[in-house]
Structure formats: C-alpha cells, structure tokens
Amino acid sequence: MTKKKTATPLLRGGQGGSALPSPDHRSAPERSARQQQLKKLRTDDARAIDAGIRRTVLPGGLRVVTEHVPGVRSASIGVWVGVGSRDEGRTVAGAAHFLEHLLFKATPTRSALDIAQAMDAVGGELNAFTAKEQTCYYAHVLDEDLPLAVDLVTDVVLRGLCRSEDVAVERQVVLEEIAMRDDDPEDLVGDAFLTALFGDHPIGRPVIGSIESIESMSAAQLRGFHQRRYRPDRMVVAVAGNVEHDHTVELVYRAFADRLEPATEPAPRREGRFRPHSVPELHWSHRDSEQAHLAFGVRAFGRHEGERRWPLSVLNTVVGGGLSSRLFQRIREERGLAYSVYSSVDTFSDTGAFSVYIGCQPENLGKVAGLARGVLEEVAANGITDAECARAKGSLRGGLVLGLEDSASRMNRIGRSELSYGNHRTVSETLSRIDAVTTEEVTAVARTLLARPFAASVTGPYRRTRELPAAVRKLVDGG
C-alpha cells in the first residue's frame, strides 16, 4: 500500500567551509568551444519539446531534463538513480536506503555540517528518498542558487564517502528509523502487507531493511553497492523552475566531468518480468494498541501496462480515493466504524498492488473487514456507475493539475518520467487520456483484478491467528 516515503531528515544548510563551484576561468574561445560541444549533444525529441521539456544526453549516458516554469523564482534539482531496494540481495536488504543516509555524512571536501550550512545559508532544502526501484537526491533553492544546488547534490551522490566511523553512527540512526516505523501501525501494516502479497521477493521486503540486515551490513558492502550501482548511465538529472536548459547542462557537465565515459549509452528503462515466489498470505503482528489496523489487496498491473493504468486509477478513486468513495461512505459516514479508510495503488515496472487500509477499534475489525470485502465484491459483480466514473475522472484531473503548480512537483514529474519511461507526455495528453477512460474499461479492470487471490496484514491486540476475526481470515482463504 502507498505510504510515506523513507527519507533522510530534512537538511537546510549553508556554505560553511566549502566553496561554490570553481569560477570558469577559461578564455572566451575555450568557453565558446565548450558550449558548441554541449550543443552537439542535444537529443531533444519532438514529444519532449511538445511537453515543454528539454532533454540532453551527455557522454556516459547521463540524461539531463529541464522544464522552465514561468512565474517562479525557484529551481528544483533532483538526481534520480535507477536503483532501489528491489536491487538488493537478502543479506544486504536496506542497503539502498542505508547508503542514501550515509552519503550525506561526508565528501572529500565537505563534512555533514558543511553540507547543512551550505544549504542553510541560502534558505534552501536538501533531502533524499529511497523507493523500491529508484533513489532520488534533491534540492529546492532560489533560481540564483542553482549552481550551488547542483554542486552540493552531485557532490553527495558521486563523492559521498562510506567511512567506517560514519557507518557506525548512521547504523544507529537507521535502527531508530526502524523502531519509529514499528511504532507507526499504518507504516508497519503497509510493509507487512507487501510482504504478505509478494513474499520474499525483493518487492516484498521493506525499503528500510530489517534489524538483522542493518546490524550486519559493513562499510565495504555499502561502498561496493555505491560503486557498482551509482553510474551516470543509470542516472537522470531533472531540473525545473526558472531555469535555462543550456546553462543547466553546462553546470551538470562540469559537476560530472570526471565520471563521464564517452562510449556509454543510457541504461535501458527497467522492464522486469515479475516471477512470484509465493502465494498471497495472511500476516499479523501483536501490538497492545487501542486500534486494529488492516491492509488487504491483490497484485495489480506493472508500469508498462499503460492501457490499464488510468482505468485502475479511476477504480481506485471510486473505491477508496476520496470522501465520496464507496469505502469511506459505507464504513465511516454511514456506520462510523473507522476514522481512516482508503484504497491505494503501488506501481512497479512489472507488477503492482491494489490495497485497502482501515484502522478501527479491535472489536469492530470483523465487521469492517466484511463491509470492505462487500464493497469490492459489489464492484467486481456490477461495475461502477457512469456518475462515479465522471466524478473520479474529475478528481484525477484536478489532482494532477493542482499538483504541478511548483517547481518541486514539476521536477519530480519529469525525473520519474525520464527514468521510468524514457519519454514525456504533455499535461494535456495526460488529461485527454484520463477523459478517455470509460465506465466499461473500469469495470473490466475491476473484474480482472478483484478475481485474484488476496493477501492481508493485521496489527493489533491479537496473539495467535485464531484470535483474528473470521471475516479477516476469509479475505485470504476465500471462505
């Protein structure tokens, strides 16, 4: 189920003892020659240009995508790396997230304090997050401070050190983060749901790792992960805001200059072919809590099954995506049995998950599980109405447009699109695709999806499986 991203604490900082990128002391002819060289690298395609996006591929396969956002004085940069927790072996589960923390500790020229002070001095924000299939390091600054942001983010990503003394300190931070996750029932049940759904497949493992894997991970393992995985051909530098493309490319080129190998092409987009290791299961964990927390759902479609993407989004919105959704109305508004109830979609390259989350009083869990199952059975049997379809499409349209009103969200959109798809749609194209979804398409997706085996996870005051309400156990065994 979709939940909060695992991210490093927010960094705000200033320059400290570190300098801005070195001034360009080349002669005018030398600068002109460099600019001409960079112009030859332009690989803009018509579709990207139509989307208002400029794209250049540098030597080494490094992709730079920019979007000029009129009327803002900000700039957002993200270095997107095509590696996440899915790329880890079992013994190094959590390495991608651990490394994301570690790289902020020091570079050859900056300490962690230098990095923080550098961003504080300009009132900017510096952060990162790790997901199943990508890691992103990003900064939001005033447009005039873009050179500093490029220098800081790339210094961390490319030259962050993996020193043993830093590993020892950050290991404790990550273990505290795991403890914090364990104290958040919604996060805990979300991680447990994906494990119940995908088993020991890497997609089923928590991004944050486990206590055992984090305690045993060495500096050498993390250093090797960094060296093998963080290559320019697997990276996208996305920049949005009051920015100019050629200037941005020049900044990125200078920052990556010693890492670019001319003969290397961009890594192909992640395709994958999901091979399940197990059948969906029921997982539960005991917590002496005032509420019981339930997540249940099915395996859904991969990112590249594009014809099903928007019908599934409409279905999700109708079932549990808003205040007028069927789950919210049936369980909260009509019966008052839960405060938080919603559905969500997680999408990966070759598979996905459609899930429902509910938090309620333990004595109401069986009733709530039965009601939620009834909602899904009704949708699978009878589909959705034309009015529901129209309302959900309007919600998706509004959410998309309103979510793109700042440079950070624009950077996020173009970075994800380039890394995941290798192409870009205009907002108008996406809105048209949403508008084109029919009630019949949504009903067909619902019938396909909801006929699949369910997995479920529960956390609450239950000490053995038989203490779980029968309605919860029936979600998985089909009884």
Q: Are residues 289 and 253 in the same domain?
A: no
Encoded tokens for 425: 């749609």
- Residue 116, in any domain of the structure: yes
Quick check: helix, strand or coil at residue 83?
coil
Residue 286 pLDDT: 95
Q: Which residues face 53 on adjacent strands?
A: 67
pLDDT category of residue 40 using cuts at 50, 70 and 90: low
- Residue 270, in any domain of the structure: no
Q: Are residues 408 and 460 in the same domain?
A: yes
CA distance 23 to 37: 19
Q: Which residues are CB-neighbours of 126 under 8 A, at least 6 positions away? A: 10, 11, 12, 13, 115, 116, 119, 138, 139, 149, 152, 153
- Residue 295, in any domain of the structure: yes
The dihedral of CA 359, 340, 282, 189: what is its sign? negative
Distance of CA 128 to the CA centre of its chain: 11
- Residue 272, in any domain of the structure: no
Domain that holds residue 220: 6-22+31-259
Encoded tokens for 118: 């550098």
Q: What is the pTM of this model?
A: 0.90
Please choose, from the candidates 203, 446, 401, the residue with its C-alpha nearest in 3D space to the C-alpha of residue 308: 446
Q: Are residues 123 and 171 in the same domain?
A: yes
Q: What are the pLDDT digits (tens) for 168-212?
A: 999 999 999 999 999 999 999 999 999 999 999 999 999 999 999
- Residue 91, in any domain of the structure: yes
Q: Are residues 177 and 289 in the same domain?
A: no
Q: Are residues 253 and 325 in the same domain?
A: no
Encoded tokens for 303: 């990112």
pLDDT category of residue 13 using cuts at 50, 70 and 90: very low
Q: Are residues 345 and 467 in the same domain?
A: yes
Q: Which residues face 77 on adjacent strands?
A: 139, 239
Encoded tokens for 131: 């997901």
Q: Are residues 52 and 178 in the same domain?
A: yes
- The radius of gyration computed from the CA coordinates of the chain, to the nearest angstrom, equals 24
Q: What is the CATH number of the domain that holds 248?
A: 3.30.830.10
- Residue 183, in any domain of the structure: yes
- Residue 267, in any domain of the structure: no
Tell me which residues are annotated as active site.
100
End residue of a domain, out of 224, 244, 259: 259
Q: Are residues 241 and 331 in the same domain?
A: no
Q: Are residues 200 and 132 in the same domain?
A: yes
- Residue 1, in any domain of the structure: no
Q: Are residues 248 and 300 in the same domain?
A: no
Number of domains in the chain: 2
CA distance 357 to 295: 4
